[in-house]
């Protein structure tokens, strides 16, 4: 362990930073990010305050034509998957089909989150709301299947209390004649 006086070291650094103007720090940062031999792209003049000339790395991804198209494509995929749950082709009362359906509802919720992140980054408000509705739809359908089976909700005829299917009952066997 070193016997350095960290308070003194940090005070020196603060003093050095206070002696340099904000414009000079911004110019150094943009020049350091530029390739050698070329001026920094978007480098602000020394007199422009940093609030008026943010660096491209700090700026959020704004809505571009390509970003909008990709964002809406993600939402369309998530909505199609959510609609597909409405026409699930197998009865999901127990066993493997129930596990598959429950996994599909989780997948739909994850698709909704994925599209919500993309639409948030590209500032697509309506698409973001649609993505959040897909997340809610996936969670509601999953909860509808899971909650009766974990004892939180009352089981019904279509949603029993167990995950596995009941064993088939065998009736009395007639004696051979």
Domain ranges within the chain, ordered by starting residue? 7-59, 65-149
Give the angle 56-57-59 at the CA atoms, nearest 5°. Answer: 65
In terms of average pLDDT, the best of 17-21, 48-52, 88-92, 122-126 is 122-126
Nearest to 25 by CA among 38, 16, 12, 34: 16
What Å distances lie between residue 23 and 14, 54, 55, 56, 96, CA to CA? 17, 12, 12, 16, 64
Return the ∠ at Cα 145 (arms to 98 and 117), rounded to 5°: 100
pLDDT tens for each residue of 51-109: 554 454 544 555 577 878 899 999 999 999 999 988 887 777 778 888 889 999 999 99
Q: Among candidates 113, 114, 105, 115, which has minimal Cα distance to 84?
A: 105
Among 70-79, 130-139, 146-155, the least confident range: 146-155
């Amino acid at each position: 362990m070193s016997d350095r006086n960290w308070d003194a070291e940090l005070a020196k650094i603060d003093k050095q930073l206070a002696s340099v103007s904000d414009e000079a720090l911004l110019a150094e940062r943009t020049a350091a990010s530029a390739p050698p031999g070329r001026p920094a792209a978007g480098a602000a003049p020394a007199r422009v305050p940093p609030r008026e000339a943010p660096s491209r790395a700090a700026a959020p991804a704004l809505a571009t034509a390509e970003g909008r198209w990709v964002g809406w494509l993600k939402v369309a995929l998530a909505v199609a998957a959510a609609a597909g749950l409405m026409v699930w082709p197998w009865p999901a009362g127990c066993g493997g089909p129930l596990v598959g359906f429950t996994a599909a509802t989780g997948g739909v919720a994850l698709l909704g989150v994925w599209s919500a992140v993309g639409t948030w980054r590209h500032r697509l408000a309506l698409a973001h709301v649609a993505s959040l509705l897909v997340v809610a739809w996936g969670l509601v359908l999953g909860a509808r299947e899971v909650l009766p089976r974990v004892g939180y909700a009352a089981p019904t005829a279509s949603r029993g209390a167990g995950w596995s299917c009941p064993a088939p009952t065998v009736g009395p066997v007639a004696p051979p004649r």
